[in-house]
Structure 1
Amino acid sequence: MPQIFEVDGWADEQDAHFFIDDPVSSLDDHNIFITAQSIFDLTESNYLKKRIIVSTHHIGLFSILFDWFTRGDRSGKFSKLTKPFILSNHNDDFELKSPNQDVFLYHLHLLQTLEKAATVKELFIYHYVLLRQALENIASFLGTSRIGFILSEIKVKDVNETMDKINSLSHQSAYRFQFNEMSKTEEDTFREVLTNLINHYHFKLA
């Protein structure tokens, strides 16, 4: 894969940090896995000698990197070093919060992003990553680690088949270089889960 970030361009004290500021826009959804993989590879090559800081407004990129660095197949060496934050704004009072510290804020962001993508009919494979994280957060909030429990609660038609599809499409080895739009069956399953989830728990996303 071509290198899109130059790491060794600074010297002295500046060399200890590497900042990546807002590397994707809403127009880059089809390239999001390439960007995420480039950031992951850069980090893997430099994390012992540099502190790498990534800022983004794109919840999709945030979620993918959050997943890869904390729970992915190669997350072992990063999980204790990774510190994810979301910038929250309450009455013009800004605060950096961990997704684990403010689970409601995080899954609300996820659901808003997913609903918007479904509304404008721009659904990509990576949206399954966000959907799984939303399900996991809600399951944790309800005192369980099983997203199958949530799928049963919201009454999807086939819990096991839906679970298999979510796991398959959101697992790193499966989606690593998938940046295509969803197929018809993938979209149907996605819409069923998202609609049932929002309606069952009465989420207000406006």
Structure 2
Amino acid sequence: MNNQPKISQFPSFDRLATRLRDDFHSGGNDFVLLYAYNGTGKTRLSMEFKSFGKVQNGGAPDTLYFNAYTEDLFVWDNDLQGDSRRVLKINSDSRFFSAIKDLALDESIQTYLGRYTDLDFDIDYINWTVSFRKGEAEHIKISRGEENIFVWCLFMAICERVIDSHPSYEWVKYFYVDDPISSLDDNNAIAVASDLAILLRKAKGKIKAVISSHHALFFNVIVNELKTAKTKRYFLYRTNESEVLTLRATDETPFFHHVAMLSEIRAAADSGKLYTYHFNMLRSILEKTATFFGKKDFSDCLEGVEDEALFSRALNLLSHGKYSLFEPMEMLDDNKKLFRDILSAFLNKHQFDLPALLNENAASTPSTTIGTE
């Protein structure tokens, strides 16, 4: 399938940031979604986007962002002497926290946090620290993943106040969210994506937003949840040897991020690390492929292959509902073999031309052989 959209090239991150802002101003979009591998420079791009706004506004910011820098606003005090009162220290100098003392965010934070963990917390606004509780244990040191999800819940609570037009955050015109799930498992990744999509739909018409991620499952949930909004979708790429960034629009079917996702699914099948949600991802790809060819149903993509009826019924059943998304489990061996058979049949019937940029050492047309454990 060679009907690939045009690739735009940018010599620097600031030029690319300008392009993203143009998508809002000239394109009239509500959201911009970027799918990119780790090491592409997503965090650098988010900071350039933020900096561009300050330059345009005479030094005044216009972007509330969540990225690796946001997580760095919190530092642990592990009470090395007493080894008992461990707290997370907040950098109160950041504008990120400019009004949280007056916003009564604790309840909103706990509402989000309770969806992902069994943690309780207390914020000391005098000393700017956070202490965590679990059951009867107090001042506990939580895991890196739990820490990240707490920071994320705080960010979401602030975003709610922004959308509600709280005067303390009236300067915010954009949200920029970069990979909020770096240390989360797939179960929480999907829950985070769903909650973010709900918030963004509330923000529509008030706040513009850029979302960037390397996580195929997270990105796919966001795309599906925002499909009725005016949204630009891109695949962002940069080689290690070059500073040139390439941007490939994926608004037309088949979405290019689905082609990238297909590459990841094939790698998962080769490695044997297959989970229940991979059936959902494969079905999504088949649906986009069917749309591209003007077919009515995803099963038409398997028309004429051996075991066509079996494969269609199995894919329909095993991707049905949300249970396989919200309760990800490793597939049983029988389902792994079935998944590989369906994927092999699909790739043999539809010879996708995966661009070399997906794998610098790969041939332009990938092998359709699916390895076994």
Q: Tell me the TM-score range normalised by the shorter chain.
A: 0.7 to 0.9
Aligned equivalent of 2:269, options 105, 110, 118: 118
Distance in 2 between the 1:84 and 1:104 partners?
Answer: 8
Distance in 2 between the 1:137 and 1:122 partners?
Answer: 24
Q: 1:27 to 1:193 in 2, by over 3 A?
A: farther
Q: 1:176 to 1:134 in 2, by over 3 A?
A: closer
The answer to whether the Cα contact below 8 Å between 2:248 and 2:256 also exists between their aligned partners in 1 is no
2:218 alignment partner in structure 1: 61
2:249 alignment partner in structure 1: 97
Distance in 2 between the 1:140 and 1:153 partners?
Answer: 18
Mapping of residues 22-171 of structure 1, within 5 Å: 22-25=179-182, 28-70=185-227, 79-87=228-236, 92=244, 94-100=246-252, 103=254, 105-155=256-306, 157-159=307-309, 161-171=310-320
Q: Which amino acid in the other structure matches residue 153 of structure 1? A: G
Q: 1:175 to 1:50 in 2, by over 3 A?
A: farther
Distance in 2 between the 1:36 and 1:171 partners?
Answer: 19
1:74 alignment partner in structure 2: none
The structure where strand makes up a greater share of residues is 2
TM-score when normalising by structure 1: 0.75
Q: Which amino acid in the other structure matches residue 220 of structure 2? A: S
Residue-by-residue CA offset, 1:3-45 (whole Å, 9 max, x unaligned): 423314761232x322211123487334332222222233244
Q: Which amino acid in the other structure matches residue 232 of structure 2? A: K
Equivalent residues, number: 194
Distance in 2 between the 1:96 and 1:60 partners?
Answer: 19
The answer to whether the Cα contact below 8 Å between 1:125 and 1:180 also exists between their aligned partners in 2 is yes
Q: Which amino acid in the other structure matches residue 59 of structure 1? A: A
The answer to whether the Cα contact below 8 Å between 1:63 and 1:129 also exists between their aligned partners in 2 is no
Distance in 2 between the 1:46 and 1:172 partners?
Answer: 27
Residue-by-residue CA offset, 1:103-135 (whole Å, 9 max, x unaligned): 373343122010111122221222222211221
Distance in 1 between the 2:276 and 2:251 partners?
Answer: 22
Secondary structure of the structure 1 residue equivalent to 2:276: coil
Q: 1:131 to 1:176 in 2, by over 3 A?
A: closer
Gaps of 5+ in 1: 71-78
% identical aligned pairs: 25
**Residues 1:205 and 2:205 are matched in the alignment:** no
Residue-by-residue CA offset, 1:50-75 (whole Å, 9 max, x unaligned): 323211122222112212332xxxxx
1:2 alignment partner in structure 2: 112
Distance in 2 between the 1:27 and 1:199 partners?
Answer: 34
Q: 1:108 to 1:81 in 2, by over 3 A?
A: closer
Residue-by-residue CA offset, 1:136-192 (whole Å, 9 max, x unaligned): 23223333232222222333x252x43344334434544452222223343232111
Q: Which amino acid in the other structure matches residue 200 of structure 2? A: T
CA RMSD of aligned residues (A): 3.1
Q: 1:98 to 1:107 in 2, by over 3 A?
A: closer
**Residues 1:13 and 2:171 are matched in the alignment:** yes
Q: 1:40 to 1:107 in 2, by over 3 A?
A: closer
TM-score when normalising by structure 2: 0.45
Distance in 1 between the 2:278 and 2:192 partners?
Answer: 15
The answer to whether the Cα contact below 8 Å between 1:64 and 1:129 also exists between their aligned partners in 2 is no
Q: Which amino acid in the other structure matches residue 29 of structure 1? A: D
Secondary structure of the structure 1 residue equivalent to 2:186: helix
The answer to whether the Cα contact below 8 Å between 1:17 and 1:52 also exists between their aligned partners in 2 is yes
C-alpha displacement at 1:195, in angstroms?
1.4
The structure where helix makes up a greater share of residues is 1
